Structure 1
């Protein structure tokens, strides 16, 4: 990534954050909305989405394999829940299943990152999708492997 691209991305993020802050203050003063942004996580998600949009708009930018993996993870992260489920079913590589309390947790591999799909036995529904890139999170699955001959 060139210095010009980095500066453009930083400028875009700062502008986006200032717009968010302005609207939050404006709406609070008018008393029309109690809170436009609920917490820091929501601000982080909005900034991440803005960064993703800006990255896709950089002309002539060649992504490295690591950047492509991060981009795929960011794209997946901002999908609605049902679209995440469909994407995992259509493009994920199933790796393992583990049990934790009332949950069956299925592990999938997607374009350089791992996804856990949490299925509740009590409600017979999928309650969550967890994304991670750290191999440390795979340690719990290593315990499931039986190498006895």
Structure 2
């Protein structure tokens, strides 16, 4: 099991590989990018994906549940 600190020390390529072992939770769109949220053991990772260039721009990890609000705001209740 990888810790947040270990994840942050990885290269962008290795971070992307690690994320695929996590659990996909949600996605959202912002400023022309798709941002996908994954859960890894004990932390979350956002994958910033540029659809036009078909390229991962950034991966950001965090533990704060406050950073989940942009995803929760998209939930539509019946």
Per the normalisation by structure 1, the TM-score is: 0.50
Say which of 51, 58, 82 aligns to 2:13. Answer: 82
- Between the two proteins, the alignment pairs up a number of residues equal to 78
Q: Any unmatched runs of 5+ in structure 1?
A: 1-67
Report 1:125-136 matches (<5 A).
125-136=55-66
1:92 corresponds to 2:22: yes
Q: Deviations over 1:13-67 (max 9, x none)?
A: xxxxxxxxxxxxxxxxxxxxxxxxxxxxxxxxxxxxxxxxxxxxxxxxxxxxxxx
Which has more helix, going by share of residues?
Answer: 1
Q: Any unmatched runs of 5+ in structure 2?
A: none
Question: How many Å separate the matches in 2 of 1:144 and 1:117?
Answer: 17
Report 1:1-149 matches (<5 A).
72-89=3-20, 91-148=21-78
CA RMSD in angstroms comes to 1.4
Bigger-Rg structure (1/2): 1
4+ runs deviating over 6 angstroms = none
Per the normalisation by structure 2, the TM-score is: 0.92
Question: How many Å separate the matches in 1 of 2:54 and 2:77?
Answer: 32
1:147 to partner: Cα distance: 1.9
Which has more strand, going by share of residues?
Answer: 2
